Amino acid sequence: MAELFRSENKGINNLAEIFRKYAIFFVLLGLIILFTILTPYFLTISNLTNIFVQQSYVIIAAVGLSFVMISGGMDLSIGFQMSLVGVTTAALAKWYNVPLPLALISGLALGVVLGLFNGIASIKLKIHPLIITLGTMTVFQGLSYIVSKQSVILNLPAAFKFLGQGYVFGFLPFSVILMIVTVLCASFILNFTYLGRHIYALGGNEEAARLAGININKVKLIVFAICGFFVALAALVLFGRAGSAASSTGPGTEFTAITAAFLGGISFKGGEGKIWGLVTGVFILGVLSNGMQLVGMGTYSQYIVRGFVLLAAVGFDEFQKNGIQFTRKKEK
C-alpha cells in the first residue's frame, strides 16, 4: 500500500514538474483558443502570417538580450540602439550615397560597437549593467536624433525594405527566415559550445565561474557584442519593414523583450533560460496584442494588460526559482 502511495505521489510530482516546465506553452495555446472563439478573423493564414512578420524583429532583438540576461546582466538600451543603428544606416544609404551592402554592414558593426560600449562601461566602472544601460539609453537616443537631424528619412532603397517586407518564393517572409536563422544560431551557441557553458556559469555564480578559470570580463564583452549584433539586425528588419527611418522607431522594444524573457523562463538573476522559452514568450505577447486589437480593445487598455503581464512574468520567474530550490531541498 505504501509502495502504491509513493508511486502515485511520484507520478503527481512528475506531472507537476512537466506542467511547471511547459506552462508557457499552455498559456500560448490558451490564448490562441480564446481569441479563436472571440473573433473569426484570428485563426486565418493572413493573420497568423502577420503575427510572425510583426514579431520577427522582436524575437531577433530578444535573442540578443537573452545572452546578456542569462549571463546575469541587463540591457535597457536595446530599443535606443535600434533607433541609432536604423537612422545611421538609412542616412548612409540615402544622404551619403554609401552602397547599400556597405551601409548595412556598417549598421551591424555599429550595433556591435554600442554593445561593447555597454560592456566596457560596466566592467571599468564596476557598476551593474542595469544602471549603465539606463544611462547609455539616453546617450543613444540623443545621438540618434543628431544623426537623423530630427527628421524622417523617407523612401529607403528597395533592397533595404526587402529585409522587412520581402518574400522568398512568393510566400515565405524574409524577416521570418532571418528570425529562424537567429534562433538556431543562438540555440547552438548556448547549448553546444564552451562559450554557452561559460555564459550560464557566469550567470549562475560569477565568483565560482572566476575560480573555475573563466575569463569573466572577456565573456561579458562577448555577450554584449553578440547582443549588439542581434539588436542591430533587428533594427535593420524593423526599419526595412517601415520603409522609412525615424529616431522614434525602436524604443519600446526593450519592454517587450524583457517581458518575453521573463515569461520564457529567463531569470532576472541569470544562469537559467532557453531560447525556445523566449520565443514562446514573444509569441504570447504577439498573440495577446493581435487578439486585443481584433476584438476592439483600446490602446490604453492594452497598456494596462501588458503591464499586468510583466508583473505576472516577474512573479512567475520567482515562482520558478522557489520551485526549483524547493525540489532540490526535497531531493536532499
Cα–chain-centroid distance for residue 69? Answer: 10
- Of 253, 267, 262, nearest to 312 by C-alpha is 262
User: Quick one: pLDDT at residue 14?
Assistant: 64
User: Quick one: pLDDT at residue 85?
Assistant: 98
Q: Does the predicted TM-score (pTM) go above 0.85?
A: yes
Domain ranges for the chain: 51-247
User: Quick one: pLDDT at residue 1?
Assistant: 52
Mean pLDDT by 10 residues, the chain (332 residues): 53 62 82 93 94 96 97 96 97 95 97 97 94 96 96 94 94 96 97 96 93 95 97 97 95 92 85 91 92 87 80 68 52 50
The residue with cell 495577446 is 288
Give the helix/strand (H/E) hosting 84. Answer: helix 78-94
User: Quick one: pLDDT at residue 72?
Assistant: 94
d(CA 203, CA 199): 6
265 in Cβ contact with 320 (< 8 Å)? yes
Beta-carbon neighbour count of residue 101 at 10 Å?
Answer: 10
User: Quick one: pLDDT at residue 296?
Assistant: 87
**Strand spans (E) along the chain:** 167-168, 172-173
C-alpha grid cell, residue 296: 476592439
With a pLDDT cut of 90, the percent of the chain lying above it is 73
User: Quick one: pLDDT at residue 4?
Assistant: 47
d(CA 217, CA 235): 27
User: Quick one: pLDDT at residue 322?
Assistant: 62
